[in-house]
Amino acid sequence: MDEITDLCRRLEVRRLDLFGSALGDAFDVASSDVDFLVEFAVRPGFDHFGGFFALKEAVPGRPVDLVNGPGVRNPYFRRQVEETGETLYSA
């Protein structure tokens, strides 16, 4: 968890939420991915490109999906993440 916190600080992440099957009974150790909703304090630019890959590698041996929080336009999806997600980092 310290690695994720350090990475979030370095990348100027405002908030990082875990959501999806990783939080519930549907999680399959053999095949499930890990879903993160990420919101940056600043608009991500080219300098953040490597950081996206670092976040995707934050969970070794597991595929990671990153969703850009401000880019979520579906209100039902956003509400589901807000109601069921778990905040891992908040600045």
- pLDDT, one tens digit per residue, over 1-31 is 688 888 889 888 999 999 988 888 888 877 7
Q: Where are the alpha helices (DSSP H) in the chain?
A: 2-10, 49-56, 75-84
Q: How much is the pTM? A: 0.80
Mean pLDDT (whole number) for 55-76: 83
Q: Are 88 and 1 in contact (CB under 8 A)?
A: yes
**CA trace torsion 2, 21, 65, 45 (10° rounding):** -60
Give tens-digit pLDDT for 36-46. 999 988 776 66
Q: How far is CA 3 from the centre of its chain?
A: 14
Distance CA 49, CA 40 (A): 13
Averaged pLDDT for residues 31-59: 77
Q: What are phi and psi of 4, to 5 degrees?
A: -65, -45
